[in-house]
Amino acid sequence: MRTPAFLLTSVLMVAGGAAAQTPSTAVSSPDGQIQMTFSTINGNAPSPQGGQLVYTVTYHGNPVMNASALGLEIENQPLLGANVAIEAPRSGRIDETYTLPAGKSKTVRNLCNTLALDLRETQAPNRRFTVEARVYDDGAAFRYIVPAQEAVKELRITNEKTQFVFAKDATTYPLVLQSYQTSWEDDYRTVALSGIHPASLVALPLLTELPGVAFVAITEADLDNYAGMYLQHNEKNPRELDARLSPHVDDPSVSVAVKTPAPSPWRVMMIADSPGRLIESNIVINLNSPPAFSDASWIKPGKASWDWWSGNEAEHVGFDPGKIQPPRSTTSISPPPQASSISCWMAGGPPD
Say whether both 76 and 172 belong to one domain.
Answer: yes
Cis peptide before 125 (omega within 30 of 0): yes
Pick the residue with more confidence: 295 or 326? 295
The pLDDT value recorded for residue 309 is 63
Both 13 and 75 in one domain: the answer is: yes
Is 295 inside any structural domain?
A: no
Of 6-20, 114-128, 291-305, 323-337, minimum mean pLDDT range: 6-20
Amino acid occupying residue 91? S
Residues 154 and 244 in one domain: yes
At residue 302, the pLDDT reads: 77
Cα 167 from chain centre: 20
Task: Give the 3-state secondary structure of residue 3.
Answer: coil
- Asked whether residue 316 falls in the same domain as residue 189, the answer is no
Q: What is the pLDDT of residue 347?
A: 33
Model pLDDT, residue 312: 64
Domain count, the chain: 2
261 and 325 in a single domain? The answer is: no
Per-residue pLDDT, 5: 38
Q: Is residue 208 part of a domain?
A: yes
3-state secondary structure (DSSP) of residue 56: strand
Measured CA to CA, the distance from residue 331 to residue 343 in angstroms comes to 18
CA distance readout (Å), 33 to 194, 214, 234, 255, 325? 27, 12, 29, 36, 57
For residue 322, name the pLDDT band (cuts at 50, 70, 90). Answer: low
Q: Are residues 205 and 324 in the same domain?
A: no
More confident residue, 241 or 316: 241
Rounded (to 5) percent helix, strand, coil in the chain: 10, 40, 50
Burial 278-306 (b: 16+ CB within 10 A, else e): beebbbbbbbeeeeeeeeeeeeeeeeeee
Amino acid 86: pLDDT: 95
DSSP summary character for residue 301: -
| Statement to judge: residues 280 and 339 lie in one domain | no
**Which domain CATH number covers 204?**
2.70.98.10
State the pLDDT at residue 107: 95
Contacts with 317 (C-beta within 8 Å, 6 or more apart), sequence order? 333, 335, 339, 340, 343
Query: In this predicted model, which residue has the larger pLDDT, 210 or 324?
Result: 210
In a domain, 102, yes or no: yes
pLDDT attached to residue 313: 66
pLDDT tens readout for residues 164-201: 999 999 999 999 999 999 988 899 999 999 999 999 99
Residues 6+ apart with CB under 8 A from 203: 174, 175, 176, 177, 184, 230
Q: Is residue 243 part of a domain?
A: yes
Q: What is the pLDDT of residue 340?
A: 33
Q: Are 160 and 182 in contact (CB under 8 A)?
A: no
The β-bridge partners of 209 are: 171, 215
**pLDDT score, position 305:** 65
Do 225 and 337 have their domain in common? no
Measured CA to CA, the distance from residue 12 to residue 91 in angstroms comes to 6
Rounded CA-CA distance 62/175 in Å is 27
308 pLDDT tier (thresholds 50, 70, 90): low
**Helices first, then strands: H and E counts in the chain:** 3, 24
Per-residue CA distances from 344 to 42, 231, 308, 339 (Å): 64, 40, 12, 8
CA 312 centroid distance within chain:
37
292 inside domain = no
Residues 275 and 138 in one domain: yes
Domain shared by 185 and 311, yes or no: no
- Residue 54 pLDDT more than 60? yes
The pLDDT, as a whole number, for residue 104 is 87
pLDDT band at 336 (very low <50, low <70, confident <90, very high): very low
Confidence of residue 299 (pLDDT cuts 50, 70, 90): confident
Domain assignment of residue 161, yes or no: yes
Q: What is the pLDDT of residues 85-143, one digit of tens each?
A: 999 899 999 999 999 988 888 999 999 999 999 999 999 999 999 999 999 999 999 99
**Residues 8, 1 contacting (CB under 8 angstroms):** no
- What pLDDT score does 307 carry? 62
Q: Tell me, yes or no, whether 344 and 259 share the same domain.
A: no
Segments of 137-211 assigned E as strands: 139-146, 154-160, 163-165, 171-173, 176-177, 191-192, 201-202, 206-210
Q: Which domain holds residue 186?
A: 5-287
Q: Could you tell me if 47 and 168 lie in one domain?
A: yes
In-domain check, residue 173 = yes
More confident residue, 156 or 185: 156
Instruction: Among 257, 287, 317, give the residue marking a domain's end.
Output: 287
Q: Where are the alpha helices (DSSP H) in the chain?
A: 275-280, 283-287, 339-347
**What DSSP string runs through 59-94?**
ETTEEEEEEEE--EEETTS--BTSSEEEEEEEEEEE
- Mean model confidence pLDDT for the chain: 85
Domain assignment present for 296: no
